[in-house]
Structure 1
Amino acid sequence: MGKHLSIFICFVISSLATCIDVTAQADTLIVCQNNPACFQHIQDAVNSIPEQTSKKVVIFIRNGTYNEKIFIQHNWIELLGEDKNKTIITQSIARDIWRCNHADDWGVATLNISGSDIIIKNLTIQNTYGFENNTSVVRCASDTVDNYVKKIRKDGHQMALRTFATTRLQIINCNLKAFGGDTVSPWNVTEGMFYFKDCTMMGGVDFYCPRGWAYAENCTFIATTGPACIWHDGSANEDAKTVLKNCRFKGYDGFILGRFHRDAQFYLIDCHFAANMANKPIYLVPTNNIIQWGYWVYYNNCHKAGGDYAWFKNNLQTAKGAPLAKNINAHWIFGDKWNPILN
């Protein structure tokens, strides 16, 4: 399953240079664009892995722009780019167009994942539809209400990442970009555990929208458009929460931090907001959903350039168990079920 070559790569995370041998502890497949000894396409490398493999497989992707839609159904796979700014996986997909001819979301994103124990590292993953297209009207076989036509907005749903039954997913040192909404959609409300570190995420409404348990640290969020940056669905379990620690938020003038329309639980610790963020708290969207647990939004040591708003004052003491900020880390959110830092 691929040649066993010693391949060392170096990258910078949090100002620290790190070099690793990507072949040291796993089978390694190599993808590149100008060498016939490599896989030419990322999906070809994924497809070469036996379905029942229980050993971790690293797919090392050399620098280049890969115009591919990726599907990962296996477990224990790592996609490892050579350089996060030079190893680019790109597609142009409007979810509303995709759903005109498809019954579900499998294939709606640039990177579609249903396997578990997945690591994505040092990559740019982008959906360019909203950057390249204006609002339009298309024929849509599934839209019987409007005579089989559908308005496709340039700021509509455009997913760079969409997960399905996935859990124990790590996204490290990556760029995840779209113009429209739901850029980063790690969805598994019952069992999903998702870990993000040193990432930049860009998009429109709800462009970071985890369902289940999610932890993001040292990430930058950039709003292009839309009524909210972050969203959460924790409705299947009272313990489910999204934590954002030492994260930065910026975007268009008047961008809004977040919202929810199902039971959600937000913790923002040591976060930094641009001066042009709107003076509007994370809010409940009018909904017919029954909100069982109320307004669970908590802050500690968050600040905005140009002066703080009262609504993100410290209030951790009002959260269940009154957790201390110093104790809120990946272990705190995932408990004994998973420790992504050691994987």
Structure 2
Amino acid sequence: MKKIFYYFFFCLTLSNLLIAKEKADIIVAKDGSGNFNSIQSAIESIKENNQEHKIIYVKNGLYNEKLFIHNSNISIVGENRDSTIIRFAELRSNWIEKNSDSFGSATINIDSNTYNITFANLTIHNNYGSIHGENGHQFAILGLGTKVYLLDCNVIADGGDTVSLWDQEDGMYYHNNCYFEGWVDYVCPRGWCYITDSKFYGHNLTASLWHKGIGDKDQKFVIRYSYFDGIPGFPLGRHHSDAQFYLLDCIFSENMADVPIFWPVSKNAQIWEWGQRHYYYNNHRLGGDYKWFEDNLEDAEGNPEPSEITAAWTFSGMWNPEKEMPSVLPYVYLPKPRNGSYDITLETILNWIPSRNAESFNIYFWKSKFPQALENGEKLKDGPSAVGEPIFIKNQTEKYFNPETLEKNSTYYWRIDEIVDGAAVEGPLWHFTTKE
């Protein structure tokens, strides 16, 4: 597996985080400094039919464990995305030879009838292929429950079906700022799935994405603001039965093949009763675009505008994952308006997801010193100084801020510094531009 360097879009003060009063319910540490030294032991310590959200904080280390989750409302959060690693080698076919079904054949196994499961700020890796040279199906995650979050994670398998969230009837999944890597069909949800701001890397010449949406005609797989790469000639995707794909604001590397999402020739393939439903908007390929991913949202049912296609829209009112997202990460997250966004209404209210240890927030908000809004992709004309100086507004405990008076066609910057254990932790710099 190639070494991955994945950089956050912000800086955080590690020393402040380390001394912060930890609000996680359970701490796992290999060195014995936590409540448990294995993640599975921590999971099993939570009572059956759990109704309260429980955070399991996992300190840095390599955890050679296969995890089974039979309970709901659990978040497993690493200390560091690249240094907190859950790794277990398992080939699906080997497991099935000795067991009745696939459940248990993954590094992470999420049982049916579970919901509100979160993995954040860590790496999950099924490394069977690295050890044995076999790249057959080997799940990093096999999930049969619903409302599954992956936040700031690396999810890797040395074979196919890396992320297999397979609640075919009710499955709803949300992934943000993740890295996915694998072989055939390595991101393959069943049901509803929304992925944003993520990176994909495929090692095979069959397909990267796969979807199954036969439980409801509305089921869909939506990907926004993401980057796809792989070996030369990697294809984008396929599906054996009815499915629905939306890809918006994505970048494809020059290695992507000129092959549309396709119906495979297979004994398992079924006729697409609802037709070909592959929708695109504002996608581009390095080295030149292909005609098959031209904008065609007008062909989708309901003719949605790009601005309508959000996480909440994806799940058709059944789940609003960004509104319900638990505060589990060690840093402020998910700015609204989106960082770098344009055409923002003058009545906008700023929102964010706090870190799990935040006590209050120092609000910084100011207008760019450059009088005109910048064109999309244009560099600041006056260099970094065009940003202007941060203006402290106030300290507050609410996780929203109303700037009240905004000007048309103007760029605004903002920052949320969290107070954690009495000390300020500087947040990332965000900006947006208002409507003309």
1:13 CA drift (Å): 4.4
Unaligned runs of 5+ in 2: 1-5, 326-436
Asked whether 1:335 is paired with 2:330, we answer: no
Counting only pairs closer than 5 Å after superposition, residues 229-248 of structure 1 correspond to structure 2 as 229-248=208-227
Is 1:92 the equivalent of 2:89? yes
The reply on whether 1:207 has 2:200 as its aligned counterpart is no
Amino acid at match of 1:127: N
Question: How far apart are 1:16 and its partner, in Å?
Answer: 5.9
**Superposition map of 1:265-276 within 5 A:** 265-276=244-255
Instruction: Report which stretch shifted further, 300-309 or 31-40.
Output: 31-40
State how far apart, in whole Å, the 2-side matches of 1:14 and 1:282 are. 31
SS at match of 2:206: coil
* Deviates further, 296-305 or 97-106: 97-106
Is the 8 Å Cα contact of residues 118 and 168 (structure 1) preserved in structure 2? yes
Deviation at 1:14, TM superposition (A): 3.4
Q: What is aligned with 2:154?
A: 175
Deviation (angstroms), 1:37: 4.4
**1:64 alignment partner in structure 2:** 61
* Separation of aligned partners in 1, 2:98 and 2:257: 38
Quote the Cα distance in structure 1 between the aligned partners of 2:261 and 2:93.
Answer: 26
Equivalent residue of 1:337, what SS?
coil
Q: For the residues of structure 1 that align with 2:65 and 2:110, how far apart are their CA atoms? A: 14
Written as runs of structure 1 = structure 2, the 5 A alignment for 1:219-298 is 219-287=198-266, 288-298=269-279
Give the structure 1 partner of residue 428 of structure 2.
none
The higher radius of gyration belongs to 2
Residues 171 and 22 from structure 1, CA distance in 2 versus in 1: closer, same or farther, beyond 3 angstroms? Answer: farther
Note closer, same or farther for the CA distance 1:268–1:209 as it changes in structure 2 (3 Å cut). Answer: same
Preserved CA contact (<8 Å) 1:223 1:229: yes
Of residues 6, 10, 13, the one that matches 1:15 is 10
Preserved contact between residue 28 and residue 34 of structure 2 (Cα < 8 Å): no
Matches within 5 A, 1:38-187: 38-114=35-111, 115-134=114-133, 154-164=134-144, 166-187=145-166
Q: Distance in 2 between matches of 1:93 and 1:77?
A: 24
| Secondary structure of 1:92's aligned partner | coil
CA RMSD of aligned residues (A): 1.8
The answer to whether the Cα contact below 8 Å between 1:179 and 1:225 also exists between their aligned partners in 2 is no
Deviation at 1:290, TM superposition (A): 3.3
Q: Distance in 1 between matches of 2:241 and 2:215?
A: 10
Deviation beyond 4 Å, 4+ runs, structure 1: 16-24
Contact 2:162 2:187 in 1 (8 A): yes
Question: Aligned to 1:185, what secondary structure does the other structure show?
Answer: strand
Deviations 1:117-138 (A, max 9, x none): 111100100000112212xxxx
* SS of residue paired to 1:44: helix
Equivalent pairs counted in the alignment come to: 311
- TM-score, normalised on structure 1? 0.87
Alignment partner of 1:195 out of 174, 195, 210: 174
Alpha carbons of structure 1 residues 295 and 22: separation in structure 2 relative to 1, 3 Å? farther
Aligned to 1:159, the other structure's residue is in SS state coil
TM-score (norm 2): 0.69
User: How far is the alpha carbon of 1:215 from its aligned partner?
Assistant: 0.2
Structure 1 residue identity aligned to 2:212: D
Preserved CA contact (<8 Å) 1:194 1:213? yes
Alignment partner, residue 316 of structure 1: 297
Aligned 8 A contact 2:196 2:225 in 1: yes
- Change in 2 beyond 3 A, CA 1:298/1:37: closer
> 2:281 is matched with which residue?
300
Q: Secondary structure at the match of 2:167?
A: coil
Secondary structure of the corresponding residue to residue 284 of structure 1: coil
Counterparts of 1:268 and 1:332 in 2: how far apart (Å)?
A: 14
Structure 2 SS opposite 1:59: strand
Deviation of the 1:236 alpha carbon: 1.2
Question: Contact 2:205/2:233 (CA < 8 Å) preserved in 1?
Answer: no
What secondary structure sits across from 2:140 in the alignment?
A: strand
